[in-house]
Structure 1
Amino acid sequence: MIVTVTANPSVDRTVLLDDLVLGAVNRGRRSWSEPSGKGVNVALALHAHGVPVRAVVTAGGPVGAQLRQMLDGTGLDAVVVPIAADIRSNISLTQPDGTVTKVNEPGPRLDADELGALLAAVAGELTGARWLVCAGSLPGGVSADFYGELVALGEQRGVPVAVDTSGSALAESLSARPALVKPNLTELAELTGTTPTTLGEVVEAAQEVRRRGARAVLASLGADGAVLVDAEGALWGEAPVKTVVSTVGAGDAMLAGYLGSRGDRVGALGAALRWGAAAVGLEGTLLVPATAAAEVTITDAVDTARPLRHAEPAPAPRTSGLGDDRP
């Protein structure tokens, strides 16, 4: 059983547009809503592939009631922690070329009793768990070291913990020594204060994250594939995709594939790449099972000089992990 925790879940509305013009009336061609938040996305991907998973989520208000109904409809095993405030409604504006513009609400504020109930719910699900996944942004009232607390709790219970977040929440989790962190290129740059432009610089940045406490780093690089850096060294892999429909949820699918694999590190990275490739070919985040036929290349002879196709400048460091732009 894999347990995911989503402190700041959402209902995500996706609207398909022919074009997006700021300051004008834009008419959508089609739209739909889905249960979301990074931990929810990971859990749904695992569930789609038949991997035993349980999702711990908060839910409050009318949007929370909608989330509960949606989760029931998916058949996902979910533990819902009631809160007073309404949870988030996010929107994704998707264009035909795969460009996605996301607008994420900050989410509710949890009081001390609600936070305690969330911690108790997570603790109650760890017996027999083989992974605990801490994913997504943190709502108001939750300190940036929350995921660090969950990493320590997992350590006490003998459960490895994977962290997929950003900003202060990611930085502060490292001292607790999570078994795995999964930054994307922007988050890796933000975390290390570097601007990786080659695969070699990605590996160096990931090694820096390991020196700061993470035992393994799975860095998702979009069209440049992914890099896994752990105690055994570095692996790079890619699964080329002919047509990108939407990148929303692709990183979550990648993490789910890695954790859901029962193989060695090469097999786990291969599953991560296949699941991520399957996700970018879909309009939404409700993942269909990836096919084993997806072309995957993996090597430990990383071409350190290979330039990244989509390298971006490192963003300015944030001072708070609350209300960040992660799902």
Structure 2
Amino acid sequence: MILTLTLNPSLDRTIEVGSLTRGAVIRAAAAHRDPGGKGVNVSRALLANQVRSRAVIPFGGAEGRQLLALLAAEGIDMISIPVVGETRSNVTLAEPDGTVTKINEPGTALTAAELDTLASAVLDAAGSADWVVASGSLPPGVPVEVYAVLCERFAGAGIRVAVDTSGPALVSALAAGPTLVKPNREELAEATGTPIAYVGDVIDAAGKLRAMGARSVLTSLGADGALLIDGDQVWYGTCPVKEPRSSVGAGDAMLAGFLAAGARGESALAEGLAWASASVGLPGSRMPSPADIDRTAVRICTPDPALPLMSGG
């Protein structure tokens, strides 16, 4: 089983528009309301593909209750922890070419007692868990060291930990030696202070994260695919999307597929790419089911350090 912990979940509303023009009145083509948050999305993707998962999430206020109702309707196995603050609500504007504009609320602060309750809930549920995924942005006021502290607690209980966050929280977590980290291109550049324009830059920057404590690094690169460094091995892969609709949650789908496939080597990278590609072809933050996933388009190859990256990551 794969446990997920999302410290800053959200109620997500995705609005599809023909084009986004600042200052104009725009009519929506469609709208979708989904549960949000990186760990929540990982659990949703795993459930859609019959992989056991349990989501640990804080919730508060009307948005929090709506979030729980949506998760319950999807059949998510969850441990919900009531908190004083209100769950945030996010808006995504999606254009036909796959371009998305996100407006994310900051979320609500969590007290030290609430954080401890969340961590204890994970540990109490971890008896049969293979992984804990600790992911997402931090609510306001939560110390940047929180993922490092959680990683040490979970690893001390013998659980493998995957961390998917950004900025100082990611850098801090590395010192705790997570089994896996999954930055995207921008997060990798920020964590290492390294401009990333070529595949070789990704390899070098991911190597720096390993030197800082991460055992394996899975980097999502948007339309340019993904790169995995696992031990002394480096794999690079792509999986083009014919009709992109929304990239929201694609990185979470990639991490879910990677973990579901064993989280090691070429085969896990290929599965993660297939899940991510399928996610991009779906509206809003829907997670792909087996019927959506096409593994035939995945290509895994020896990385060419001189290959330029075309997308924004």
Please state which band the TM-score falls in when normalised by the shorter chain. Answer: over 0.9
Residue in structure 2 matched with residue 317 of structure 1 by the alignment? none
Task: Quote the Cα distance in structure 1 between the aligned partners of 2:295 and 2:138.
Answer: 37
- What one-letter code is carried by the residue in structure 2 that aligns with 1:250? A
Task: Quote the Cα distance in structure 2 between the aligned partners of 1:210 and 1:96.
Answer: 38
Alignment of 1:302-317 (within 5 A): 302-310=303-311
Residue in structure 2 matched with residue 6 of structure 1 by the alignment? 6
Alignment of 1:204-219 (within 5 A): 204-219=204-219
CA deviation vs aligned residue, 1:229-249 (integer Å, no higher than 9, x gap): 121321101112122111111
- What one-letter code is carried by the residue in structure 1 that aligns with 2:31? S
3-state SS of paired residue (2:200):
helix
Task: Quote the Cα distance in structure 2 between the aligned partners of 1:31 and 1:188.
Answer: 32
Residue in structure 2 matched with residue 285 of structure 1 by the alignment? 285
3-state SS of paired residue (1:127):
helix
Stretch moving more, 149-158 or 49-58: 149-158
- How high is the TM-score relative to the length of structure 1? 0.92
Task: Quote the Cα distance in structure 1 between the aligned partners of 2:309 and 2:261.
Answer: 27
The alpha-carbon deviation at position 311 of structure 1 amounts to 5.3
The alpha-carbon deviation at position 88 of structure 1 amounts to 0.5
Task: Quote the Cα distance in structure 1 between the aligned partners of 2:110 and 2:264.
Answer: 39
Task: Quote the Cα distance in structure 2 between the aligned partners of 1:105 and 1:277.
Answer: 27
- How high is the TM-score relative to the length of structure 2? 0.96
The alpha-carbon deviation at position 20 of structure 1 amounts to 1.4
Task: Quote the Cα distance in structure 2 between the aligned partners of 1:194 and 1:263.
Answer: 26
Residue in structure 2 matched with residue 297 of structure 1 by the alignment? 299
Kept in 1, the 8 Å contact 2:222–2:312? The answer is no
Task: Quote the Cα distance in structure 1 between the aligned partners of 2:263 and 2:165.
Answer: 25
Task: Quote the Cα distance in structure 1 between the aligned partners of 2:61 and 2:51.
Answer: 30
Residue in structure 1 matched with residue 64 of structure 2 by the alignment? 64
3-state SS of paired residue (2:279):
helix
CA deviation vs aligned residue, 1:61-98 (integer Å, no higher than 9, x gap): 00011011111100010100100111100000111111
Kept in 1, the 8 Å contact 2:12–2:92? The answer is yes
Alignment of 1:183-222 (within 5 A): 183-222=183-222
Residue in structure 1 matched with residue 147 of structure 2 by the alignment? 147
The alpha-carbon deviation at position 110 of structure 1 amounts to 1.3
- What one-letter code is carried by the residue in structure 2 that aligns with 1:305? A
Task: Please provide the CA RMSD for this pair.
Answer: 1.3
The alpha-carbon deviation at position 7 of structure 1 amounts to 0.7
The alpha-carbon deviation at position 279 of structure 1 amounts to 0.4
Structure (1/2) with the larger helix percentage? 2
The alpha-carbon deviation at position 191 of structure 1 amounts to 0.6
Distance verdict in 2 for CA 1:147–1:165, change over 3 Å = same
Task: Quote the Cα distance in structure 2 between the aligned partners of 1:158 and 1:114.
Answer: 23
Kept in 2, the 8 Å contact 1:127–1:157? The answer is no
Stretch moving more, 240-249 or 213-222: 240-249
- What one-letter code is carried by the residue in structure 1 that aligns with 2:196? P
Residue in structure 1 matched with residue 165 of structure 2 by the alignment? 165
Task: Quote the Cα distance in structure 1 between the aligned partners of 2:157 and 2:214.
Answer: 18
CA deviation vs aligned residue, 1:158-187 (integer Å, no higher than 9, x gap): 111000010111110000010000000000
Task: Quote the Cα distance in structure 1 between the aligned partners of 2:3 and 2:238.
Answer: 27
Alignment of 1:131-146 (within 5 A): 131-146=131-146
Task: Quote the Cα distance in structure 2 between the aligned partners of 1:311 and 1:86.
Answer: 32
Q: How many equivalent residue pairs?
A: 311
3-state SS of paired residue (2:244):
coil
3-state SS of paired residue (2:25):
coil
Task: Quote the Cα distance in structure 2 between the aligned partners of 1:263 and 1:195.
Answer: 27
CA deviation vs aligned residue, 1:21-64 (integer Å, no higher than 9, x gap): 21222221211211110000011001101000000000000001
Same amino acid, percent of matched pairs: 47
Kept in 2, the 8 Å contact 1:245–1:281? The answer is yes
Kept in 2, the 8 Å contact 1:15–1:31? The answer is yes
Task: Quote the Cα distance in structure 1 between the aligned partners of 2:199 and 2:123.
Answer: 38
Distance verdict in 2 for CA 1:118–1:264, change over 3 Å = closer
Kept in 2, the 8 Å contact 1:132–1:162? The answer is yes
* Structure 2 alignment gaps of length 5 or more: none
Kept in 1, the 8 Å contact 2:254–2:275? The answer is yes
Kept in 2, the 8 Å contact 1:16–1:30? The answer is yes
Distance verdict in 2 for CA 1:182–1:293, change over 3 Å = closer
Task: Quote the Cα distance in structure 1 between the aligned partners of 2:163 and 2:263.
Answer: 20
The alpha-carbon deviation at position 292 of structure 1 amounts to 4.8
3-state SS of paired residue (2:69):
helix
Task: Quote the Cα distance in structure 2 between the aligned partners of 1:183 and 1:262.
Answer: 19
